[in-house]
Amino acid sequence: MWSIIKINGEDYKDVAQKRSQLEFDYRENKFTGNDGCNQIFGNLKKLTNTHLEFDTIGATRMKCIEAKTSVHYQNLLRQIRYYKIENLTLSLIDIENKVLLVFKKID
């Protein structure tokens, strides 16, 4: 499981109800997690040693304190095309090689 630590280069501030997390099932090309409020899930469109692309993203519809945080997080996931893992840190990168999301390994 990966827990968010940075969004768009800024330290993650816990304004959401819970910390955003991701978990990957590489055998099934699926992911699960939460976006700070809603449980999220879906398929991976592409997964190689360097490329990562999310397909459809499904989510529960909880009443969120900061609903726009939830939507913003999901929109960033849709922009991801690459990833890098170093020192138990996962960086998710867009098509222009900009790091959008950074996670730390928590399990």
Beta carbons of 105 and 89 less than 8 angstroms apart: yes
Question: What is the C-alpha to C-alpha distance for residues 90 and 62, in angstroms, rounded to an integer?
Answer: 27
Spacing of C-alpha 24 from chain mean position: 10
pLDDT of residue 82: 98
Q: Which amino acid is at 77?
A: L
Distances (CA, A) of 87 to 29, 80, 90, 99: 23, 20, 8, 16
Q: Which residues pair with 99 in a beta bridge?
A: 93
pTM of structure: 0.88
Domains in the chain, start-ordered, CATH in brackets? Answer: 2-105 (2.40.128.270)
pLDDT of residue 5: 92
∠ CA 44-81-76, nearest 5°, is 85
For the chain, 107 residues long, the average pLDDT of each consecutive 10-residue run is 91 68 93 90 94 93 67 91 97 98 93
